[in-house]
Amino acid sequence: MDSRARNRTTAERDVDSVLHPYTNLIRHQEVGPLVITHGKGVKVFDEAGRDYFEGLAGLWCTSLGWGEERLVEAAAAQMRKLPFYHLFSHKTHDPAVELCERLLAMAPVPMSKVFLAGSGSEANDTALKLIRYRAHALGQPNKIKVIARDKAYHGVTVATAALTGLPNNHRSFGLPVDEVIRAACPHHYRFARPDESEEAYSSRLATELEAQILKEGPDTVAAFFAEPVMGAGGVIVPPAGYFPKIQAVLDKYDVLLVADEVICGFGRTGKMFGTETFGIRPDMMTLAKGLSSGYAPISALMVNQRVYGPVAEESGRIGVFGHGYTYGGHPVSAAVAVETLKIYAERDILAQVNAVAPVLQDGLAAFRGHPLVGETRGVGLIGAVELVADKASKAPFDAALGIGARVVAKAQAHGVILRAMGDTVAFAPPLIISAEEIRDLLRRFGQALDEAHGEIT
């Protein structure tokens, strides 16, 4: 660091040097960043020493909270022993093998093999490529169309951004390059007909999906991607009966189901995987975030034999499975992930989640009476509060008011970091959070809601 840099604050240097993801870049030059220096438990601290509840576990990932020394040690030990090796061309190392074995043993349905990558986007991108490779292997090169839902979030690479069904991931990027078939977002509160039960709504969505597959031609439709609970789209919990009904349609037309467990995996919904919570039988599962508690970048794609068999055959025919990332299965990340999975098992993370989940869910539900709140929803330790201008008609606020962002900014002033997706505020705290911490977090959120309400009335 030269002396000029030493005299300037981190915030000033940030504004001059960092291109920020998911940020209004022009506004950033005016408001600058919040500089986070360290974390402990479910809290992070800024450079002025102020502490914040991390109500979204960072980016839905830091399940074990901050300061978990066992993960630090696992990384350090692996760094010393083998800081890098790869899995290309018949090479392997112990952390990768142990991780894949553990994941296969945990899988909620029989899975055959695990592919390791560095991010959720890469895992979903790999799923897309396997779908295409398999189709060629099976002599069905036209069966490569994929279905994803409105408001889905599956990543931001050129290919996975097409799966993602949120306008700001397409706008001005000239995306999607390849259209995907866009199925309905299963949000009962917003999109069900008046008096339509959850089951009836789910049946209608399954019928609509069948009509879409028939319109496209079943021999051209390869796979359906779904997050068990849609995260970045606004924490949409599927309506009763949804996945079994959707799965029946997919089975009928030989369409693979890819469960994107990047957020839901590893206990977030109260079971180890969202697929278990909602009765899904996936052919592929993508995992990231909680896989290493966010301590190291790593993701995994699990595939069943139905997928692996033809893919393996095809690679034998061609001579290579021509896909892989330099950092896929990175030994340090894999070692951290193995240690994370051990901690989940030893500390019975599911028992912990289920013990405190009612405190979060009941606490969120208690906001239903608030004048700004249209719906609260959630399961396990993921939830959301949707703000509306008119409770009876469910009319949203004028977007220019930025009510979601306003509430989140106020919550931050009260020491809680949350995330607004439009006018929905999401909650996904570290899984280790205590009942008392949840109550404190929600109390502060309530103050933020009241203040925002006071401002607009």
Two structure tokens written together for 38:
């360290």
One of 39, 58, 65, 120 touching ligand PLP (CB under 6 A) = 120
N residues, the chain: 457
Both structure tokens of 196: 């339509």
DSSP letter string, 329-389 = T-HHHHHHHHHHHHHHHHTTHHHHHHHHHHHHHHHHHGGGGSTTEEEEEEETTEEEEEE-S
Binding letters toward ligand PLP, positions 414-433, x by CB under 6 A: --------------------
| Residues 274-295 as b or e (16 or more Cβ within 10 Å = b) | bbebbebbbbbbbbbbbbbbbb
Q: Does 292 bind ligand PLP (CB under 6 A)?
A: no
Residues in 20-79 at the binding interface with ligand PLP, rule: CB under 6 A? 59
| Cβ-based nearer residue to ligand PLP, 15 or 166 | 166
CA distance 163 to 178: 9
In the bound state with ligand PLP, the residue whose beta carbon lies nearer, of 61 and 192, is 61
Choosing from 249, 288, 387, 403, the residue that interacts with ligand PLP (CB under 6 A) is 288
Applying CB under 6 A, does 108 fall inside the site for ligand PLP?
no
Q: Does 374 bind ligand PLP (CB under 6 A)?
A: no
Burial class of residue 428, CB neighbours in 10 A (0-12, 13-18, 19+): buried
* Interface with ligand PLP in residues 178-237 (CB under 6 A): 227, 231-232
Nearer to ligand PLP, 147 or 372 (CB): 147
Angle at 75 (CA atoms; ends 69, 76), nearest 5 degrees: 85
Q: In the bound complex, what is the minimum distance in angstroms from residue 426's beta carbon to ligand PLP?
A: 11
Minimum distance of ligand PLP from residue 264's CB (angstroms) = 8
Query: Tokens for 166?
Result: 């949120």
Is the Cβ of residue 154 or residue 444 nearer to ligand PLP in the bound state? 154
The Cα 270–Cα 281 span in angstroms is 17
Judged by CB under 6 A, which of 155, 165, 241, 422 binds ligand PLP?
155
Q: 192 or 333, CB closer to ligand PLP?
A: 333
- Binding stretches for ligand PLP (CB under 6 A): 59, 119-121, 124, 153-155, 227, 231-232, 260, 262-263, 288
